[in-house]
Chain A
Amino acid sequence: MLRGVELRGVRIPHNKATAELATVRMPVPTQVIMPMNQHVGAPCEVQVKRRAHVDVGTLLGHTDARMSADIFSPVSGTVREIRSIHYSNGRSTQAVVIESDGEQTIDNNIAPPEVTDYASLVEAVRHSGIVGLGGAGFPTWLKMDSDLSTIDCWLVNGAECEPYLSSDYREMVEHPDTILHGIRTCLDFSGVPRARICIENNKPRAIELLREMSAGDDRIEVFELPARYPQGASRVILRNVTGRSVPRGGHLTDVGALLFNVTTMSEIGRFLQDGMPLVRRRITVMGDAIETPQNLEVCIGTPVKEILEFCGLKSQPRKVVIGGPMMGITQVEFDAPIVRANSGLLAFTNELVDRPQTTACIRCSACIDNCPMRLAPIDIQKAYMRRDVEKLDELMADLCVECGTCSYVCPAKQPLAQSTRFARAFLRAKQREAKGRR
């Protein structure tokens, strides 16, 4: 049977102007704001008191819930307050606000972890605060703790398909050694036979460098992918690299694969060496409001405002996005902090500010042809407008990965990604409701 064209994705101008700029380390900010839910799962409980002194690496947040990841202080200084902060999506969370003293004294408990087997590796990562750094924020230790008996491939995602962003690319170019150290350690202890580092072919230097450095190791393969959006979405990259597709409602582990972001692997490699939990990360700062676009290594929790001031502003931004231009989230406050899973900060004055007017759908099927999950976004939108649960179920709206391709390609500028997002939440809620009634 004809299956149509396989996962194509779209060519979106990459606009990675900062790709060849070496990472700049931003000075320690005057204060950091550390929200307690910088990951998928249960929020942490605050472990410090107001006015307490903290050092770099001091535990700030912890919970006994499994699906969580500890939060550590990125600066030394004093806890000024513990307050609730609001995200631009309307949710709120507890946050620890730390006034930094600029000393950056390191917590006494910081020491490289002792790893003797896979269980101790997972346990070490559990206390490293490392989460999926590609944007997902899924606790890494929990992913590593899955049943490994069926896993035949340790996939490392270096696609970085989001336009503008180049922080993963810089990691691959600047720290290929820690990436490979992380991967090798994981392979050694887990018994997974091979690893594939998947990189889009618009990053030839990273491909070449990692191939060169992993040349002696048969287990590690660098896999070149066409540069198409959304190549880096987990289900898309899995399909394109292994040919497998995750069943509806399932996870990658159900089809024998584990997937980690390349910077996540690098952080594991680095953590194994120096024992410092995840407290800093690289973000790409870009946009037409920014004076000096660059890749910046910042303390997690640094407020957007301090980063914008450091990079300089050409004009007053009207739109601030944390993340990339396709999946990033617009911010309403300049006080919003950068959290662990963020890889970009974009500030716009004119560019990407005005939305084109929505016009009538002309049934061109661009959304259907380009959906990486082969969904029918326009049909989902229509079914959602009618709140037709059965139809949404038939259309499998829950499989949407929120890549935004449908909205991008739509010539009528219909808000397809938004309606599919609503439809997915609506369908899931109704399904839960139905399950509860049974």
Chain B
Amino acid sequence: MEQLPLHPAEETNQPLLLLTAPQLTSPVSTQSIMRDVLIALAPAFVASVVVFGWRAALVTVVSVASCVGFEWLWCRLRKTPNTCWDLSAAVTGMLLAFNVPSTLPLYMVVLGAFVAIVLTKELFGGIGCNFANPAIVGRIFLAVSFPAAMATFVAPGSVDLVSSATPLAPASGAHTYLELLLGLHGGVLGETSALAILIGFGYLLVRRVITWHVPVVYVGLVALLSLLVGRDPLAQVLSGGLLLGAVFMATDYTTTPATLRGKLVFAVGCALVTCLIRFYGNLNEGVAYSILFMNLFVPHIDAVTRNTPVGGERVRKGR
């Protein structure tokens, strides 16, 4: 091929690159998205350390380290490229830690991470292929396997292991709205401070990582249904795992529907199941189960909520 006689010093024998359009790509990558999610989780992390002390930090570090470690080990054993740097395992680790009490024995945290990363994510094909949210499955596994340890909460501001009920337990009403908002009550790490979760939500919206639809519909519908059955809507919204679940887990890309319509169906389903469990079930908390339950319906929701392409309207009607 002919070379341009313009810059003899820089002349090379490299052929011109032949690449298909578009030549431009956006700066957003899987890694940058996951980094944003980690940043959005930071306020809740800080809140948990303030409320529960250093053990909260320890649980989080162990959880993140074991999630990333399992992912690294999996890639190593399978001889596939190392995917730890996409940061998705770190996000799972953070979320798993936020779903357990600060008093949980560390070996249980590691077990939960194994279930989340290896059993839920990697065995189904790794990032993007899991049908259920890894952190939620990890939490449910721990709750079912170690019910006592998972329900032992430390009272805020003390280091004593006090088995105190979460605000959603029947003894509810013991906390003011302000205490609920700031998170000054017992519970799992990430479920306490509503304010910290909302700050993270705001960040995700600004960075366009998620849209407002799912969290707002989910939480709003739970509030509405609480009102209908005569419960305190604000207490229902501010306590338990609702905000954490609605903002960080019901918006997980992989395990929720693709289109906006599908996402709305998903959010409504989550709200209904949450309320059924909270109001009429044996469990105090229904968020994790409701999201897992709805995760299973995603392929079916996707199939019936596909967008109609522009220009495809008439054809579809004709059928």
Q: Which of A163, A321, A363, A368 contacts B128 (CB 8 A)?
A: A363
Q: What distance in Å separates the Cβ of B309 from its nearest Cβ neighbour in chain A?
A: 5
Select from chain A the residue with minimum beta-carbon distance to B308.
A374
- The minimal Cβ–Cβ distance linking A237 to chain B, given in whole angstroms, is 12
Most chain A beta-carbon contacts within 10 A, residue among B26, B33, B315: B26
Chain B contacts of A328 at CB under 8 A?
21, 23
B258 at the interface (CB under 8 A from A): yes
Binary interface profile of A, 305-317, with partner B (CB < 8 Å = 1, else 0)?
1001100110111
B22 at the interface (CB under 8 A from A): yes
B18, B32, B126 — which one has the most chain A CB atoms within 10 A of its CB? Answer: B18
Kindly state the separation between the CA atoms of A408 and B128 in the bound complex, as whole angstroms: 19
- Choose among A3, A88, A365, A407 the residue that contacts B253 (Cβ–Cβ < 8 A): A365
Which of chain B's residues have a CB closer than 8 A to the CB of A4?
A: 259-261, 307
C-alpha gap A355/B315 in the complex (Å): 38
> B282 contacts the other chain (Cβ, under 8 Å)?
no
A318 x B310 contact (CB < 8 A): no
Would you call A309 and B6 a contact (CB within 8 A)? yes
Interface 0/1 of B1-38, CB less than 8 Å to A: 11110110011101111111111111011101100000
Partner of B126, one of A360, A378, A408, A413: A360
Q: Are A372 and B310 in contact (CB under 8 A)?
A: yes
Residues of A within 8 Å of B19, CB to CB, are: 319, 330, 355
Find chain A residues with CB under 8 A from B306 CB: 376
Query: In the complex, how many residues of chain B place their beta carbon closer than 8 angstroms to a beta carbon of chain A?
Result: 51
Chain B residues with Cβ under 8 A from A319's Cβ?
16-17, 19, 23
Contact yes or no, A365 B258, CB < 8 A? yes
Interface presence of A185 (CB below 8 A) = no
Across-interface contacts of B254 in A (CB, < 8 A): 362-363
Is B127 close to A, CB under 8 A? yes
* Cα–Cα distance between A293 and B153 once the two chains are bound (Å): 66
Residue A202 at the chain B interface, CB threshold 8 Å? no
Contact of B25 among A308, A356, A359, A395 (CB under 8 A): A356
Residues of chain A within 8 A (CB-CB) of B28 are 366, 409, 411
> Does B78 sit at the interface, judged by CB under 8 A?
no
Interface-central residue, B7, B22, B312, by most chain A CB under 10 Å: B22
Does B179 have its Cβ within 8 Å of any Cβ on chain A? no
Pair A332/B311 contact, Cβ less than 8 Å: no
- Please tell me if the beta carbons of B313 and A245 are within 8 angstroms of each other in the complex: yes
The residue in A3, A245, A356, A372 that gathers the most chain B C-beta atoms within 10 A of its C-beta is A245
| C-alpha gap A312/B4 in the complex (Å) | 11
Are A364 and B33 in touch, CB under 8 angstroms? yes
**When the two chains form the complex, which single residue of A163, A248, A309, A317 contacts B315, counting CB atoms closer than 8 Å?**
A248
The chain B residue with its CB closest to the CB of A10 is B26
Nearest neighbor of A315 in chain B, beta-carbon distance: B10
A417 and B312 contacting across the interface, CB-CB below 8 Å: no
Interface window among A43-51, A62-70, A396-404: A396-404
Specify the chain B residue showing the minimal Cβ separation from A329.
B21
- Report Cα–Cα, A365/B261, bound state, in Å: 12
Q: In the complex the two chains form, is A313's CB within 8 Å of B23's CB?
A: no
**Using Cβ atoms and an 8 Å threshold, which residues of chain A touch B88?**
362
Interface centre among A373, A404, A411 (most CB of B within 10 A): A411
Contacts of B310 in A (CB 8 A): 7, 235-236, 239, 245-246, 372-374, 399
In the assembled complex, how far is the CB of residue B60 from the closest CB belonging to chain A, in whole angstroms?
A: 23
Q: How far is the CA of A65 from the CA of B222 in the complex (A)?
A: 67
In the bound complex, CA of A360 to CA of B254 (Å): 11
Complex Cα spacing A421 to B20, Å: 10
- Chain A residues numbered 383-438 whose CB sits less than 8 Å from any CB in chain B: 395-396, 399, 402, 404, 407-413, 415, 417-418, 421
- B4, chain A: closest CB distance, angstroms: 6
Check A375 for interface membership: any CB of B closer than 8 A.
yes
A313–B4 Cα distance when bound, in Å, is 9
Q: Which of A247, A348, A365, A373 contacts B259 (CB 8 A)?
A: A365
Q: Does the CB pair B312–A399 fall under 8 Å?
A: yes
List residues of chain A with CB under 8 Å of any chain B CB: 2-5, 7, 10, 12, 88, 163, 235-236, 239, 245-248, 250, 305, 308-309, 312-313, 315-321, 323, 325-335, 346, 348, 352-353, 355-356, 359-366, 368-369, 372-376, 378, 395-396, 399, 402, 404, 407-413, 415, 417-418, 421
Q: List 10 A-B contacts (CB under 8 A).
A: A163-B24, A235-B311, A312-B6, A362-B88, A365-B259, A368-B259, A374-B307, A375-B307, A404-B21, A404-B24
Kindly list 17 other residue pairs between chains A and B, CB separation below 8 angstroms, not including A163-B24, A319-B16, A334-B1: A88-B18, A246-B310, A305-B4, A316-B3, A316-B7, A316-B11, A316-B14, A328-B23, A356-B29, A362-B33, A362-B127, A363-B258, A374-B307, A374-B310, A411-B30, A413-B29, A421-B20
